[in-house]
Structure formats: structure tokens, C-alpha cells
Amino acid sequence: MKEQLADILDQVLRRNPGEREFHQAVREVFESLEPVLRKNPQYVDAAVLERLCEPERQIIFRVPWVDDSGRVQINRGFRVEYNSALGPFKGGLRFHPSVYLGIVKFLGFEQVFKNSLTGMPIGGGKGGSDFDPRGRSQGEVMRFCQSFMTELYRHLGEHTDVPAGDIGVGGREIGYLFGQYKRITNRWEAGVLTGKGLSWGGSLVRTEATGYGTVLFAERMLGTRGQSFDGRRVVVSGAGNVAQYAIQKAQQLGGHVVGCSDSTGYVLDERGIDLPLLQQVREAERLPVSVYAERRGATFVPGRRVWEVGAEVALPCATQNELDEDDAAALARSGVLAVSEGANMPTTPAAVALLTEAGVLFAPGKAANAGGVATSALEMQQNASRDAWSFEYTEQRLAGIMHAIHDRCLTTADAYDAPGNYVVGANIAGFTKVADAMLALGVV
């Protein structure tokens, strides 16, 4: 079976040259699957893995737009509709200069298993553009979003493909995208995008969901050892949406959050992060965390990563491969108890191995940050029934989903002789649900 897995992986590497993030994501899942394939030869016979590694559809398109000075700009747009065995494609759009096909495919591949773990009827997809909204005016962002949607709209629909936000795509961008979709199609199809504004079809808790879910999963993990967030020293990477609401939920649970970061460096605030001030600086004024440190009288450390601060709970909420082996070693030396990924694949394979070996509770992103897409699916439910739920009820649903994902990962890891290994549990539980659906649907 190892040889078969190695052959399939070699095929993936050959067919997708240069897509290092995608290679990393596939390799990480494959490392868990040997006992599954040995126990379920029907997956091998039906070439389920080979099909899973090939997206159903990859869309690449030109996005021309005009900037404020009247110059024509050209960006590249992507949508990878990865797997729809469980439901319509579902996954965010990322606007960032680093976006290329390999990143979109890695995110889409991870999304398939993440969405499977939620238990909701949604498939996996991802998209975006190498457009950078930072430093752009409102008008420029609007014109870009309208051009982007003018091509993408033909591939979307509440029963086909339902995008949401990701890095660089928040409520503002979703609004412009939805407005253009409505304009072109002449349909108020609320379920075609999630992360919408509350006054036009959005869901309460959706903004908070990814960060909240990451912390709820970590709390459940700590509970398996009779521990909690109460009084724990916490550090969070990032300072965007996911990081902010991870900070909020950790503080609600009694955690003492002392650090956060952005691409310029990190803040150490021993008094505890002042979340309203951080949100004012980052969301309202769109300024770097150094400005927060200046106004707060906290320490700003330029060009370095927040993991060197040391903590009992670490929440990587920024971007892929941001926590490496050296960072993991520093955290382990500081006595870290748990690491819960709020971003997608933020921890390198070597760092994951080191943390696991050190006995640290480790929650992979496909499980720990699934709260965002789970609440997007709840938003789709509300849109379909023309209903709106209270914050308390929606948060209760989110908590139930995150606890169920945790327990499913733990039970599956136990069943495959890897007790306490959430990576193995998440990979196998996510894979088997999708694989069984693919077998039921035939060779498609």
C-alpha cells in the first residue's frame, strides 16, 4: 500500500509541477491514509485518491480594470471547483499578491476535507486573484470586484458553487461582488455568496466564526487533559478577522492574550491585548500593528515572529507555513500546551512533527478553523428559508459543530491506533466521508 501511495503522489507531483503548497497539502493527507486503504480496498479499486487529487474544474481568467489615474490594470483570477461529492462547491476567495494556481489548489484540496468534517452538505472549492486591495481606493476595489465577477458569475450558483471571503476579501468586497452578480443575472440569489452584510442576507456570528471556532476546538482539546483557557498565557499570529475573534473568544474564556502580529512584526502587550483598540487600528484605519503598540504603550518587535514570546496556547491565524521548526521548538521550550490552527496550513510539517513529539495538543486547520465555513453553511440555510437567527442560537450551533468535529477527529484517531493525534483523525474522518460519497456517485 505504501508503494501505491508513493506512485500516486509521484503522479501528482509530475502533473502539477511547481505547486509546492499543493504538494505539501497532498503529502500531509497521504501520510495518514495507508491504514484506511488497507482496510477499504474499494477506494483503491475505484481510484478515489487519484480522482481526489484532480480538481473537477479549474478556471483561470483575465481581470482587466481601470485605476483612479485612468490606467488599465490586469490581474489574474482563479476558481478551482475541487470536489462536489457532498454538495455544491464551497470555499473562499483570496485577494493577495501571492495568489497563484498552486495556492488556490492547496486551499481547495484542504477545503474538501474541512467541509466534510463539518457534517454539512457542502463540497470544496477555492478561488481568488493576485490583486492586492491594500492601498487601493474604494472605487478601485469596487471596479476590480465588478470585473472579477463579470467573468466568474457564469460558474456560480447556490446549487453549483458558493464562494465566501478569505484573506483580502471581507464584507466590503463581498458586497461589491454580490452587487455585480445581481446586476448581471437579474436575480436576488442570496445563497450564491456567504459573508454578506447583516442587512442583506448575512448571518450573525459569520464574522466571528473562524476565530471563535479555532478557540472552541482548542478549549475542547484542553478539556481532554482536564485543562482550560482560564488564566492561560495566549499568543495569536495575525491581526485580521480570524485573529481578532480568536483573541475575543480566548479572552471570554479567561485566557490572557499577550501577543499578535502582522507582516511587519509583532506586538507584545503584557497587560493583555486591547481588542477594541486593535480593531480600530486594523479594521477602521487599516494601519499596521506598530500603530496599536504606539497608542497602547506596548512593545513592537519589527521583522520577527510572535512565537518567540512563549505561551501556553498558540493560535496561528495568519497564513500558510508561518510557524516553522524553530518556532515550534521555542514554543515547546516555553511550555506550550496546545496549538490550534486558525489559518490554513500555517504550521510546517517539521514543526507539526516536533510539537507532536513533544506531547503538545495540535489541531490542524482543516478541523480547527472549520467554524467559518460551517457558519457559511448556516447562512445558506437561513437564506434558503428566508429566515434570520439570533446571535445566541447561531453561536450555539457553531459550538455544537466544533465540538462534534473535535470528537470525530479524536474517535477516528483512536480507531486507527493513533490516540490523541488530531492530524490523523481529521485526515481520515474527512477523507472517508468524501470517498464513500464518490463511490456512491459512480465514476464521475
How many angstroms separate the CA atoms of 77 and 59, rounded?
8
Partnered with residue 83 across adjacent β-strands are 124
**Catalytically active residues, by annotation:** 126
How many angstroms separate the CA atoms of 424 and 341, rounded?
15
241 annotated ligand binder? yes
90 annotated ligand binder? yes
Residues in the chain: 444
Residues 6 or more apart whose Cβ sits within 8 Å of residue 137: 68
Closest among 297, 211, 296 to 253, alpha carbons compared: 211
Encoded amino acid at 147, one letter: S
How many angstroms separate the CA atoms of 137 and 176, rounded?
13
Q: Is 440 exposed, middle or buried (0-12, 13-18, 19+ CB in 10 A)?
A: exposed
Q: Is 30 exposed, middle or buried (0-12, 13-18, 19+ CB in 10 A)?
A: buried
Could you give phi then psi for residue 281, rounded to 5 degrees?
-70, -45
114 annotated ligand binder? yes
344 annotated ligand binder? no
Sequence ranges of the binding site: 90, 111, 114, 165, 210, 241, 376
Sequence ranges of the binding site for substrate: 90, 111, 114, 165, 376
Sequence ranges of the binding site for NAD(+): 210, 241
